[in-house]
């Protein structure tokens, strides 16, 4: 069986790092893309391509994917996990801040997925996973642009799934709760709580699961 290759954005730390390590543990060759270097992630993965790039820069994203193909020859999975989560009262949210949130949380998955699409098609099948948020249900009042961006990502997921179904490429979203580090209070969600869901979504046997948003928030009130 051909060794699968995955690209994970936001891989320097937190959720993206956990996803990258988990995929490597499942036998994937992994490339991580982040705005900053990823020495900690690279130290945990034997066969790793570290891409330091801005997910909102089309040229940097395209060049990063070319490096992945040069190294691994193919691409099967894209995990769009890079995001920003600022909390600001709506009336204090500037136009610049609104646009920055939309660019990172919504436009970047579009840019990364569009750049990866020719390689996913060439591989004969693929998985795109977008990291959304349960905040679209709880609607915290200080995160209006964040909620709007994640709701947009869910719509992007559903429509793109229909567009890519003929190519055996699935597109799904995972809506997380508030992801905290391991020193946080008990029952707060940690990145490791989401690994089994990610592995299920990208599994070879999940080819009939597409266009869905899996809400994995622990039944809590956290966003």
In this structure, are residues 152 and 191 in contact, taking their beta carbons and an 8 Å threshold? no
Q: What are phi and psi of 30, to 5 degrees?
A: -125, 140
What stretches of the chain adopt beta strand conformation (E)?
A: 5-9, 29-34, 48-52, 77-80, 126-133, 169-176, 213-216
Contact 77, 202 (CB under 8 A): yes
48 is catalytic: no
| Main-chain phi, psi angles of 74, to 5 degrees | -160, 170
Query: Out of 28, 146, 167, 200, which one is annotated catalytic?
Result: 146
- Cα 21 to Cα 28: distance, rounded to the nearest angstrom: 9
Q: Which residues are catalytic?
A: 146
């Amino acid at each position: 069986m051909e060794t699968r290759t995955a690209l994970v954005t936001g891989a320097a730390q937190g959720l993206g790092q956990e996803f990258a390590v988990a995929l490597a543990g499942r036998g994937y060759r992994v490339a991580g893309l982040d705005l900053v270097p990823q020495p900690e992630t690279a130290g945990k993965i034997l066969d790793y391509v570290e891409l330091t790039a801005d997910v909102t820069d089309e040229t940097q994203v395209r060049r990063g994917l070319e490096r992945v193909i040069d190294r691994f020859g193919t691409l099967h999975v894209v995990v769009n996990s890079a995001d920003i989560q600022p909390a600001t009262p709506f009336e204090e949210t500037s136009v610049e801040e609104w646009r920055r949130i939309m660019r990172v949380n919504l436009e970047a998955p579009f840019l990364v997925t569009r750049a990866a699409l020719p390689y996913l098609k060439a591989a004969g099948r693929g998985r795109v996973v977008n990291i959304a948020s349960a905040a679209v249900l709880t609607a915290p009042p200080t995160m209006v642009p964040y909620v709007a961006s994640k709701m947009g990502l869910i719509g992007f997921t559903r429509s793109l799934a229909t567009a890519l179904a003929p190519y055996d490429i699935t597109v799904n979203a995972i809506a997380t709760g508030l992801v905290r580090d391991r020193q946080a209070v008990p029952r707060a969600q940690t990145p490791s709580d989401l690994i089994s869901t990610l592995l299920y979504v990208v599994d070879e046997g999940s080819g009939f699961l597409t266009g869905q948003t899996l809400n994995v928030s622990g039944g809590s009130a956290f966003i």
